[in-house]
Amino acid sequence: MPSRELREGPQDILDEINEIQVMVADLKFEEFCQDQCTVTAVLYSLAVIGEAAELYPQIPGR
């Protein structure tokens, strides 16, 4: 589980998707791949999304 408490699963998922979009908005794929901090942050956000989705099985598309 991430270091913070999950507030609300579905909202956490939407918040993390938004964070990912903001982090990569101005990056080309090659730039993203070379930016280890951004890669790590995106992977963390994906982990939060995965954990929130597991806690809320009613979310479709899992």
Domain positions in the chain: 17-55
- Whether the Cβ atoms of residue 39 and residue 33 lie closer than 8 Å to each other: yes
- The pTM assigned to this predicted structure is 0.77
pLDDT tens digits in sequence order for the chain, 62 residues long: 444 454 567 888 999 999 999 999 999 999 999 999 999 999 999 999 998 888 877 767 65
Torsion of CA 20, 24, 29, 31, to 10 degrees: -130
**Residue-level pLDDT at 18:** 97
Nearest to 13 by CA among 47, 58, 40: 47
| Cβ atoms 10, 56 nearer than 8 A | yes
